[in-house]
Structure 1
Amino acid sequence: MEKNLHTAIALRKAGEYEKSRELLEGLINSTELKARALLNIAWSWDNQGAEDKAEIYYQAALEAGLEGEDQFDALFGLACTYRCLGKYTLAKAHFVEILTAWPDATEIIPFYALCLHNLGENDKAMSVMLELVARHPPTENIKRYQKALHFYARNLTGA
């Protein structure tokens, strides 16, 4: 079954979202793989821009008991999804939760700042970003999101 999970992840990364989800749906009944399968289904919907569908799967994955990096990834995905859906207060609460639990997760900060901007907390958003740059010159964690950050830099109010 673990092989099916890896195959489904490879399909998702290759843009074969429906095929990936079909395999992942078959893993939901596996106690040991359920949470990770749900997380990867969420990512699949997210990759397709279907945040409304991704939201449900992120929540289910967290309820199924993710731990460590998978829990971080699901919380981060859910916070970003809430922001994209215009649920800024929920997004902010999740970003704060993540930053409290993972204070070194610098990749969260730009998305948290976007959320603050969406809430009209522009001074705080700018402060958060300046602190990031001052304390953490660009790292690989932030570079991973470079494409998205460039998009949002030009579209501050966009989802």
Structure 2
Amino acid sequence: MTDQDRNALLAAAVRLRTEGHKEEARQQLLSLSAAFPADAEVAYQTAWAHDVLGLEAEAVSFYERSLEGTGLSEEEHRGALLGLGSTYRVLGRYEDAVGLLRGGLERFPDHGAMRTFLAMALFNTGEHHEAVRLLLELLATSSDDPYVQRYRAAIEYYAQDLHATM
């Protein structure tokens, strides 16, 4: 199979997934992944195809393979980190999720979804204060709600110490 064939088959499988033909996309991506086992982009798309079908346990090895390889765009790399971190959390691998998502935020500090999934994983590990802090900071910096913005300074202050009084 040529690189041109690979590109066409990958594009077709992604199109199938986005159009709602998830199982057909997964089957095509499994075949493509078998033909290109070291291809990070194919592994990422295969992981995603499993994830959208609720097949998280099967998605893990593809996410891991995608992150071990090279060739992911920056957006795909962010997606693979978020996907794997979220999948670890869903599977009860909370410490793995926290470690991966913290590392992801070091590389992509402004990624709001990654902060949110890290907060959920932190909650699962009992780190409630850190989880709420992350969510309050995200709320204060990203909300368009005029009332949140009116109290932004207070929200940011309390995010640092939920036990503080003004």
Which residue pairs with 1:25 in the alignment?
30
**Structure 1 segments of 4+ aligned residues over 6 angstroms from their partners:** none
Are 1:75 and 2:81 counterparts?
Answer: yes
Give the TM-score, by structure 1 length: 0.78
Q: 2:39, 2:69 within 8 Å by CA — same for their partners in 1?
A: yes
Q: CA shift at 1:26, angstroms?
A: 3.7
Q: CA shift at 1:124, angstroms?
A: 1.2
Q: CA shift at 1:30, angstroms?
A: 4.4
| AA aligned opposite 2:58 | K
Q: 1:61, 1:74 within 8 Å by CA — same for their partners in 2?
A: yes
> Structure 2: how far apart are the matches of 1:93 and 1:74?
14
Which residue pairs with 2:8 in the alignment?
3
Give the TM-score, by structure 2 length: 0.75
Aligned residues: 137
> Structure 2: how far apart are the matches of 1:17 and 1:106?
27
Which 5+ residue runs of structure 1 have no aligned equivalent?
139-159
Q: What is the percent sequence identity of the aligned residues?
A: 34
| AA aligned opposite 2:21 | E
Are 1:110 and 2:134 counterparts?
Answer: no
Q: 2:13, 2:26 within 8 Å by CA — same for their partners in 1?
A: yes
Specify the SS of the correspondent of 1:76.
helix
Q: CA shift at 1:16, angstroms?
A: 2.0
Q: 1:27, 1:34 within 8 Å by CA — same for their partners in 2?
A: no
> Structure 1: how far apart are the matches of 2:99 and 2:126?
15
| AA aligned opposite 2:88 | Y
Q: Which structure's relative contact order is higher, taking Cα pairs within 8 Å and 6+ residues apart? A: 1
Which 5+ residue runs of structure 2 have no aligned equivalent?
145-166
For 1:27-48, what per-residue CA distance to the aligned partner results, in whole angstroms no more than 9, with x for missing partners?
Answer: 33348x9211111111111111
